[in-house]
Structure 1
């Protein structure tokens, strides 16, 4: 089975990437892997604080994931898989691709704000020639109707 890998973060464009991946998966008999990365810098070490912060981050991610997962299960009828990793988001996307040979496409949302940059997308594009799968870039301002039409 071919899986679509989407990075779950707090960005607005993440929503369109999720929609696109779920609709493509449903239309092609594929799956969706939602990757969320806890930046190592957010975890303070010492005296058990790291464990508490890690647990809180997992709870926050799982609640955020469940919002998308509920829609995917009911609308496009796709059961998404959640993967939580710690480290640099770009590094962890690359690592996940290397560890899961069923990932066939990376789906990234693109912010329509020309002043903002996406460091994960920048890194992936720099390494696109050596990645084991293609990258699909989904504009963050596409309407639901347009997404449905192109998937």
Structure 2
């Protein structure tokens, strides 16, 4: 079974990448893995605060994931898997790709704002020739109808 890997972020481009991955998985008999990464700066260490912040970050991610998962289960009929890691998002994505050979495609959302850089996409493109699978870049401005047509 081919897995579509998509990163969970709070952005419009993430929404389209999720839609693309779910619809492609449904139409090809695949699965969706959603990777959420907690950057090191979100968890401050010291005085027992780190565990509280970590717990809150996990709860926030799980609630955010459930919004996407509910849609995936009801509309394209896909049961997504959530993977949560801590560290640099790009490095954790690359580590996950090395760990899970079932991942067949990484879906990354691309913002239409030319002033915003996507560090994960930049990192993947820097080493694109050594990746174990293709990257699909999903534009933020693509319509739901167009996504349905191409998936």
Same fold (TM over 0.5): yes
Deviations 1:37-57 (A, max 9, x none): 000111111121110000000
Partner of 1:68: 68
Distance 2:146 2:98 in 1: 32
1:6 aligns to what?
6
**Counterpart of 1:42?**
42
Q: Does 44-53 or 12-21 show the bigger shift?
A: 44-53
* Aligned alpha-carbon RMSD (Å): 0.5
Partner of 2:30: 30
- Segments of structure 2 that go 5 or more residues without pairing to the other structure are none
Show the counterpart of 1:90: 90
> How many residue pairs were aligned?
151
Query: Distance in 1 between the 2:42 and 2:75 partners?
Result: 34
**Structure 1 residues without counterparts, runs of 5 or longer:** none
- State the partner residue of 1:21: 21
Q: Which segment drifts farther, 43-52 or 73-82?
A: 43-52
Provide, for residues 64-89 of structure 1, a one-character-per-residue CA deviation record: whole Å limited to 9, x for no partner: 00000000000000000000000000
- The alpha-carbon deviation at position 138 of structure 1 amounts to 0.4
